[in-house]
Amino acid sequence: MTGTPPSGAPDVLALHRRMLLIRRFEEACAELYAAERIRGFLHLYVGEEAVAVGALDVLDPGDSVVATYREHAHAIARGLEPGAIMAEMIGRAEGCSGGRGGSMHLFDRARGFLGGNAIVGAGLPNAVGVALAQSMREERALTACFFGDGAVAEGAFHESLNLAALWSLPVLFVCENNGYAMGTAIDRALAQTDLAMLASRYGMPAQKVDGMDVRAVRAASAAAVDGIRADGGPAFLECVTYRFRAHSMYDPERYRDRAEVDRWRARDPVLLHERRLREEGLLDDAGAGALAAEAEQAVAAAIAFADAGTLEPVADLYRHVYEER
């Protein structure tokens, strides 16, 4: 899948800003979890920032996004207000899901952000359906669907790739291959670990991408999106990445050793991109400091917004089960 020009030249500083914001946001979430402000399950995206930022940079406002339970980054990259996301984290009515969803279920209908889904693989059929609606209405829109390597073991993965290809539906399948389905290494779960090859067998263009390189992800996504908009049919990206932190805040990480984590940390997507920006003369110490401060301020503002939020009255418990009429 080469030769298709990207939809436009990337704003490489904007990509960097977004990754920094996500990194700082996730670190703040870990701090708030330790302080028992955020409860429940919390899955952080630290190490995988280049995937969400690179892929979502090429979407149009009219497109839709279906994400996983590790989806703070996708929400931020899709333009949801960090304050509304943080308010959701701490269960406030001002949260992007009104406090009913929490970390794993961020939604924003206006931005086509159709949720974090915490059933592994369950988002894929939904993305196929959203794309079916887009296709039947002959819209130019597409649906980006994020999932991990763990989802590849689910029947829904295979059924969804088959149906999207069979019906030529505009889905961008983005597999975040971080090497582990929770604690099970990919080669202990899948007989075929070349996921791009696997997807290509369903009859769609599929590419393996360095998921630690935001520009590579962005370029591959742009080419895939151009192809989808031209042909209507789906495309598949396998973004090879790594989760630096534990699966969730309950994970003692018995299944991997420190040396492996350190090897991947040497390819930190944020630091890689910063180094490249410096080499290109687009960033210096002062600039880097300013960007870091900007991210810090944005996250502080998000926390302040969340802290100022309100608790939904218990009398409203039964709201949102059915539409209010």
Partner 1 sequence: MSANEDQPSYREAMREALREALREDERVFLMGEDIGRYGGSYAVTLGLLDEFGERRIRDTPLSELTFVGAGIGAAMAGMRPIVEIMTINFSLLALDQIVNTAAVARHMSGGQVGVPVVIRMASGGGRQVAAQHSHSLEAWYAHVPGLSVMAPATVGDARWMLAAALEDPDPVVIVEHSGLYNLRAPLGEPPAPDRAWRAAVLRPGDDLTIVAYGGAVQTALAGAERLAEEGIGAEVLDLRVLRPLDVDAIVEAAARTRRVLVVDEGWRTVGLSAEIAAVVSDRAFYDLDAPVARVCGAEVPMPYAGHLERAAIPQPEDVAAAGHHLVAADG
**Residues of the shown chain interacting with partner 1 in the complex, contacts defined by CB under 8 A:** 64, 66, 95-101, 105, 107-109, 114-115, 117, 119, 122, 124-134, 136, 143, 155-156, 159-160, 162-163, 166-167, 319-325
- Smallest gap, in angstroms, from Cβ of residue 104 to partner 1? 9
Q: Which is nearer to partner 1, 69 or 242 (CB)?
A: 69
Distance, in Å, from the CA atom of 42 to the CA atom of 37, rounded to the nearest integer, reads 12
Half-sphere exposure of 244 (CA within 13 A, CB side): 20
- Report the residue number, 19 or 89, with the smaller CB distance to partner 1: 89
CB atoms within 10 A of CB 51: 31
Minimum CB distance to partner 1 smaller for 14 or for 136: 136
Beta carbon of residue 121, minimum distance to partner 1 (angstroms, whole number): 9
Instruction: Report the nearest approach of partner 1 to the CB of residue 88 (Å).
Output: 9
Shortest CB 48 distance to partner 1, Å: 23
Closest distance between partner 1 and the C-beta of residue 242, in Å? 28
Q: Which is nearer to partner 1, 136 or 308 (CB)?
A: 136
CB-wise, 100 or 278, nearer to partner 1? 100
Q: With respect to partner 1, which residue has the nearer C-beta, 159 or 296?
A: 159
The residues, any chain, with a CB within 8 Å of residue 160's CB and separated by 6 or more, are 124, 125, 127, 128
Number of residues that this document lists for the chain = 325
Burial class from Cβ neighbours inside 10 Å (0-12, 13-18, 19+) for residue 72 reads buried
Report which of 50, 297, 311, 22 is spatially closest to residue 178, judged by C-alpha positions.
50
Whether the Cβ atoms of residue 221 and residue 158 lie closer than 8 Å to each other: no
The stretches of the chain forming alpha helices (DSSP H) are 12-34, 49-56, 72-77, 82-89, 123-136, 155-166, 186-189, 195-200, 214-231, 258-265, 269-279, 285-307
Give min distance, CB of 21 to partner 1, in A.
23
